[in-house]
Amino acid sequence: MADITDQKTRSFPKIEFTDSEAGALDFPSSKSRTYNYYKPAKLRATMYEDVTVDVQPDPDRHLTQGWIYGFGDGPGGYPKEWTKAQSSNWHTFLDPNEEWEQTIYRNNSAVVRQVSLCLENAKRAGAYKNWNHAWVVFIQRNLGAWMHAENGIALHVFTSIQRSAPTNMINNAVAVAAAHKMRFAQDLALFNLDLSEADIDFDGPAHRDVWQNAPEWQPTRQTVEELTAVGDWGELLFATNIVFEQLVGQLFRSELVMQIAARNGDYITPTIVGTGENDYARDLAASRSLFQLLVRDEEHGAANKELFGQWLSVWVPKCLAAAKALQPIWSQPAEKPITFATSLDAAKDKFRSLLEDLELDIPKELDQ
């Protein structure tokens, strides 16, 4: 054993008793223990509000010196002109999901555990062996193609939007949507990998060609690519989350995959796709509440409604065309408990009621 007297004296900071606890003394502001620079929506500030509101400065709020850097061709910061939509106060939007650091990781980790468990069980039970060939091909082609759409939207729609909206609340909500989409796209890809290794006749890389070339998927790919090309962040969010996700995303995920998988002996896919549906329900709640605020804006509501009407007239036809092009995939599985017409009607109904929530006119194309 070493001789302890031989050791170098270690140097360490001295801890002192300072009594610097809350309540140790009474003096002006000694009880001022709330963030007082914004008015919470309800009586008490939520954790979400405290960690989100006013973190992105704004000359309309407290910023006095203005943005200190500009772009070569315009002002810096978060110009309101980056969308044609207008608001008399963008800061009224609060994310109904109240996403912040803790919710992001808790919720997504819960999904990860759920999906992992499901996949492990499937492997153990040899669940894929019971799939009929038509279903294997259906998943290989169509779920495989769809994951591209999810990934593209993650990276080039939501990630992109969160630089452009004028408040921290909008941008964070959209960043969370990007995280959802990225996770979901990867979950589908890793599911594809499991299937490739499952000792069934599954062609892992086939999805690339389907997405890139199969005629039924080209209008969908085209719409996704055209979405990513939209410069106006408001239009991009509206066209994606309000129109595309309803008429194409939900149509494929809820009205097709979720409806028919079980009948084809597949209980794995609905678990995974269900997480994507659940994410979308959350992300839609945020978008719905943002666009609702905009149509109800006392000053700009009417102009916004008109603008959204224009956006609908651009995107509804594109998305309906994409939806209709997908029709052949409804007949690919062996068990076809649902027709394309039924699925499309269901998607349209949900879309109509969403538009009603937003107090927008129902585009005539929907009735055709």
Partner 1 sequence: MSRQSLTKAHAKISELTWEPTFATPATRFGTDYTFEKAPKKDPLKQIMRSYFPMEEEKDNRVFGAMDGAVRGNMFRQVQQRWLEWQKLFLSIIPFPEISAARAMPMAIDAVPNPEIHNGLAVQMIDEVRHSTIQMNLKKLYMNQYIDPAGFDMTEKAFANNYAGTIGRQFGEGFITGDAITAANVYLTVVAETAFTNTLFVAMPDEAAANGDYLLPTVFHSVQSDESRHISNGYSILLMALADERNRPLLERDLRYAWWNNHCVVDAAIGTFIEYGTKDRRKDRESYAEMWRRWIYDDYYRSYLLPLEKYGLTIPHDLVEEAWNRITNKGYVHEVARFFATGWPVNYWRIDTMTDTDFEWFEEKYPGWYSKYGKWWENYNRLAYPGRNKPIAFEDVGYQYPHRCWTCMVPALIREDMVVEKVDDQWRTYCSETCYWTDAKAFRSEYEGRETPNMGRLTGFREWETLHHDKDLADIVKDLGYVRDDGKTLIGQPHLDLDPKKMWTLDDVRGNRFMSPNVLLNQMSDAEREAHVAEYRANGTKVA
Q: What residues from 89 to 118 belong to the interface with partner 1 (CB under 8 A)?
A: 100-102, 104-106, 108-109, 111-113, 115-116
Q: Is 32 helix (H, G, I), strand (E, B) or coil?
A: coil
Please report how close the Cβ of residue 321 comes to partner 1 at its closest, in angstroms: 13
> Rounded distance, CA 135 to CA 333, Å?
5
Which residues, 6+ apart, have CB-to-CB distance to 42 below 8 Å?
none
Q: Which of residues 42-61 bind partner 1 (CB under 8 A)?
A: 47, 50-58, 61
DSSP letter for 72, please. Answer: T
Among 91, 141, 207, 282, which residue sits at the site for partner 1 (rule: CB under 8 A)? 207
Q: Which is nearer to partner 1, 71 or 306 (CB)?
A: 71
Which residues, 6+ apart, have CB-to-CB distance to 123 below 8 Å?
194, 198
Which residues, 6+ apart, have CB-to-CB distance to 313 below 8 Å?
363
Q: How far is CA 61 from the centre of its chain?
A: 28
Q: Which is nearer to partner 1, 102 or 342 (CB)?
A: 102
Q: Which of residues 270-329 bind partner 1 (CB under 8 A)?
A: none
Q: Which is nearer to partner 1, 231 or 317 (CB)?
A: 231
Q: Which of residues 12-31 bind partner 1 (CB under 8 A)?
A: 13-25, 27-31
Please report how close the Cβ of residue 353 comes to partner 1 at its closest, in angstroms: 30
The Cα-based distances of 247 to 12, 128, 215, 229, 279 in angstroms read 65, 30, 18, 19, 17
Q: Is 74 helix (H, G, I), strand (E, B) or coil?
A: strand
- Picking from 80, 67, 46, the residue whose alpha carbon sits closest to that of residue 233 is 80
Q: Does 222 bind partner 1 (CB under 8 A)?
A: yes
Q: Which is nearer to partner 1, 113 or 129 (CB)?
A: 113
Beta carbons of 219 and 244 less than 8 angstroms apart: no
Q: Which of residues 235-254 bind partner 1 (CB under 8 A)?
A: none
Q: Which is nearer to partner 1, 231 or 328 (CB)?
A: 231
- Picking from 243, 226, 232, 244, the residue whose alpha carbon sits closest to that of residue 146 is 244
Q: Does 259 bind partner 1 (CB under 8 A)?
A: no
Q: Which of residues 118-157 bind partner 1 (CB under 8 A)?
A: 147-148, 151-152, 154-156
> Rounded distance, CA 168 to CA 54, Å?
7
Q: Which is nearer to partner 1, 168 or 343 (CB)?
A: 168
Q: Does 1 bind partner 1 (CB under 8 A)?
A: no
Please report how close the Cβ of residue 217 comes to partner 1 at its closest, in angstroms: 11
Contact code string over 324-353 relative to partner 1, x by CB under 8 A: ------------------------------
Among 212, 310, 313, 331, which residue sits at the site for partner 1 (rule: CB under 8 A)? 212
Q: Which is nearer to partner 1, 148 or 348 (CB)?
A: 148
What DSSP string runs through 287-305?
Answer: HHHHHHHHHT-TTTHHHHH
